[in-house]
Amino acid sequence: MVLLHGMGATGAVWRRVVEVLPERCSRRVVVCDLPGHGASDQLEDYSPPAVAAAVAGALPGDGPVALVGHSFGGYVALLLAADRPGLDVSAVVATGVKVSWTPDELERTAAFASRSPSSFDSQADAEARYRKVAGLTEDVTGDVRDLARGVVEIEGRFRLSHDPRSAAVGVPDVAGALEATSVPALLSRGVTDPMVSRDDLLRFSPDAVDIPGGGHAIHVQQPRAFVDHVLGFLGA
């Protein structure tokens, strides 16, 4: 099982899911930082297909593999399932993929991607900024372990490890990815997710599922419910 995090975060957001999974299944679990995030290298091209290709090149070639992604990572998972470059993909679960974008949201994302990374005097200030960018505010998690690799120190100053350029990816072509995917695929969201509505997902899949107990970061807020959701689909 490969777990792919969302835009601006790192693979550390899967910490609680990884702790729960061994109680429920014996799958080997692979967690990575997406390109331009955490400890991973930056790319010159952050288009979703380029990001998917970079992830595919870093994964072990043996399979089969179930792809589980959150937000932008969910879209990357769908692209990997559609293209399957050297991967034996068995199924894909994409949770919290933002499919509806207003012109204002796209403009703000493009502006963010064009800025140089901000630097901060203290790690605490940088982590506060990281929480906002990664959606890991105090109401989502108060555990600093979930923030791992989100902040780096450079010459006594602190900044986010996230390369802002990676944010300029535009509107995901979820319909195209699903059409090109021949393996079972599930779209879902946390039931209180303010970024993704159930109607949004139903436009692309009549089988879209609401996961109870949390919002956009459902995998952080309710790891057991999220694991039940994923394994229920894979078992079916």
Tens-place pLDDT, residues 193-233: 999 999 999 999 999 999 999 999 999 999 999 999 999 99
145 falls within a domain: no
pLDDT at 232: 96
123 falls within a domain: no
Q: Rounded to 5 degrees, what angle do the CA atoms 149, 152, 153 make?
A: 150
Work out how many domains the chain is built from and give that number: 1
Q: Is the pTM of this model over 0.85?
A: yes
183 falls within a domain: yes
Domain limits for position 13 = 2-101+171-235
161 falls within a domain: no
Average pLDDT, the chain: 95
**Domain CATH number, residue 75:** 3.40.50.1820
6 falls in which pLDDT band (50, 70, 90)? very high
> What is the phi/psi pair of residue 157, to 5°?
-115, 160
Distance CA 198, CA 205 (A): 10
Q: In what order do the strands lie in the sheet with 151-154?
A: 119-120, 157-160, 151-154
181 falls within a domain: yes
137 falls within a domain: no
152 falls within a domain: no
Give the H/E segment covering residue 153.
Answer: strand 151-154
